[in-house]
Amino acid sequence: MPKKTLSAVTWLCVLIVAFVSHPVWLQKPPKRKTPAQPKVPACCEEVQELKAQVANLSRVLSELGRKQEKDWVSVVMQVMELESSGKRMESRLTEAESKYSEMNNQIDIMQLQAAQTLTQTSADAIYDCSSLYQKNYRISGVYRLPSNDFLGSPELEVFCDMETKGGGWTVIQRRKSGLVSFYRDWKQYKQGFGSIRGDFWLGNEHIHRLSRQPTRLRVEMEDWEGTVRYAEYSHFVLSNELNSYRLFLGNYSGNAGNDALYYHNNTAFSTKDKDNDNCLDKCAQLRKGGYWYNCCTDSNLNGVYYRLGEHDKHLDGITWYGWHGANYSLKRVEMKIRPEDFKP
Ligand SMILES: *[C@@H]1O[C@H](CO)[C@@H](O)[C@H](O)[C@H]1NC(C)=O
Ligand SMILES: *[C@@H]1O[C@H](CO)[C@@H](O)[C@H](O)[C@H]1NC(C)=O
Ligand SMILES: *[C@@H]1O[C@H](CO)[C@@H](O)[C@H](O)[C@H]1NC(C)=O
Ligand SMILES: *[C@@H]1O[C@H](CO)[C@@H](O)[C@H](O)[C@H]1NC(C)=O
Ligand SMILES: [Ca+2]
């Protein structure tokens, strides 16, 4: 659509340039020859006039030809300017559209959840996004999981991905705006932080609880060229706090190059105030995050968010060595989990 509009704009520019420099076109529109039995003198007058007009027109055209080259440059420049402002408008429009659809989703979800609290009994408590999915919630967005005394789980706000590979994913981590610092202490990583629609860590305690059933982990990544890759792991377990939220992973599958989480398998969680790593260094302080630091990293998904231009200059960024190496900080990351036996 914008392409069409732009080429129309191009022609409009050409016409405007032509009319402005040769107003004679506007003053004397060529007369149409009436085909119905022309009388001889009228005919000749008309023909003469037409001839004159044609002569004028070809003079105008040749003049225009000379002028055209000069004008063309400015027309092209104007079109390019329009095009770039068009692109800006377009991206603003997509942004607004996605905001709007997210709002719509949120309203739908609220309505569904309001209806659901009326019918919910303690027997069918909701544990995560996959159980919501099984109850026919199929919209990605923010949901409120009710507290459950039996399971000892508090009320929890989660973001559900109900689309990727069948949906049912509870998002446990997201990096996309860079507005939330991930250089936090043990207690904050335990409880969770950030904003559920933006950048956040769900909280080690919650992740531990959600991974008590056999669980799959999916890591989605995007680089600054817009390429998207993923890594998936079977048998994801986050042990409890007594075991320092130690990470366990099964086999890797995906297209994110070499597996960059395997190095962190069977490794405790470390933060700037709790050094549980396998290194003389304090990895959490070197890599500026909270993570299952070994000595130190093969990936650092909770590292510092660096923007384009700064993204390839630091070793404490959001890295995945198996894809872009040790000093390339990714543009977007999402970590999400769902039960191993989930059937969409
Ligand atoms: C052609 O151009 C001349 C001068 O520019 C003008 O006097 C004349 O009326 C024009 N003729 C027609 C038919 O437009
Ligand atoms: C991982 O892969 C190995 C070799 O392919 C296989 O023997 C093993 O059972 C797999 N482990 C899991 C947890 O799927
Ligand atoms: C991760 O570590 C655990 C414990 O050592 C081990 O059982 C499991 O096989 C490891 N995962 C992989 C993919 O090797
Ligand atoms: C980043 O990595 C590239 C390629 O591995 C290397 O050439 C460059 O020196 C590194 N830059 C920094 C700041 O470490
Ligand atoms: Ca250490």
Q: What is the mean pLDDT of the chain?
A: 84
Mean pLDDT of 137-142: 93
For residue 310 and ligand 4, the question of a CB distance below 6 A is answered with no
- Look up tokens 């309505």; give the residue: 111
- pLDDT, residue 55, reads 82
If you measure from the C-alpha of residue 301 to the centroid of ligand 2, how many angstroms do you get, rounded to a whole number? Answer: 25
| Residue 137 and residue 97 share a domain | no
Domain count, the chain: 2
Is the pLDDT assigned to residue 85 strictly greater than 70? yes
Give the pLDDT confidence score for residue 324 in this predicted structure: 97
53 Cβ inside 6 Å of ligand 1: yes
Dist. CA 68 → ligand 2 center (Å): 70
pLDDT for res 64: 75
* 308 in the same domain as 219: yes
Question: Looking at the CA of 294, which ligand is closest?
Answer: 5
Instruction: Point out the ligand nearest to the CA of residue 327.
Output: 4
- 228: domain CATH number is 3.90.215.10
The per-residue pLDDT for range 65-77, each reduced to its tens digit, is 777 667 667 777 7
Residue nearest to atom 2 of ligand 4 (CA): 327
% of residues, the chain, pLDDT over 70 = 81
Q: Is the domain of 186 the same as that of 84?
A: no
Same-domain pairing of 186 and 77: no
* Residue 14 confidence (pLDDT) above 60: no
Q: Give residue-wise pLDDT tens across range 302-316.
A: 999 999 999 999 999
The pLDDT tens digits of the residues spanning 22-64 come to: 544 445 444 555 555 544 555 677 778 888 888 888 888 777 7
Helix (H) or strand (E) holding 141: strand 141-145
Q: Is 175 helix (H, G, I), strand (E, B) or coil?
A: strand
Q: Are 176 and 200 in contact (CB under 8 A)?
A: no
Ligand nearest to the CA of 252: 3
Does a structural domain hold residue 113?
no
Report the nearest atom of ligand 2 relative to the CA of 251.
1
Within 13 A of 246's CA, how many CA atoms are on the CB side? Answer: 8
Predicted confidence at residue 61, as pLDDT, reads 78
Tokens of 180: 């939330």
Mind listing the pLDDT tens digit for each residue in 175-224?
A: 999 999 999 999 999 999 999 999 999 999 999 999 999 999 999 999 99
In a shared domain, residues 270 and 138: yes
| pLDDT for residue 187 | 98
pLDDT > 80? residue 272: yes
The answer to whether the beta carbons of residues 305 and 291 sit under 8 Å apart is no
Indicate if 319 and 223 belong to the same structural domain.
yes
pLDDT at 13 over 50: no
Mean pLDDT of 129-148: 91
Q: Is the domain of 89 the same as that of 133?
A: no
Helix axis angle for 2-21 and 40-119, nearest 10°, is 150
pLDDT confidence bin for 17, thresholds 50/70/90:
low
The pLDDT of residue 59: 82
What percentage of the chain exceeds 90 in pLDDT?
59
Helix H or strand E encompassing 159: strand 156-161
pLDDT of 12 > 80? The answer is: no
The verdict on 242 and 288 lying in the same domain is yes
70 ligand 1 Cβ < 6 A: no
Q: How confident is the model at residue 126 (pLDDT cuts 50, 70, 90)?
A: low
Nearest to 127 by CA among 164, 161, 163, 152: 152
CA 279 to chain centre: 36
pLDDT of residue 4: 54
State the DSSP code for 252. E
CA 29–ligand 1 middle distance (angstroms): 11
Domain with 311, as residue range(s), is 129-339
91 and 133 assigned to the same domain: no
| Residue 296: cis peptide before it, omega within 30 degrees of 0 | yes
Residue 262 has pLDDT above 80, yes or no: yes
- What average pLDDT does this structure show over 269-277? 98
pLDDT of residue 9: 54
Q: Which of 83, 101, 119 is the last residue of a domain?
A: 101
Which of 9-13, 89-93, 277-281 tops mean pLDDT?
277-281
C-alpha span between 193 and 181 (Å, rounded): 9
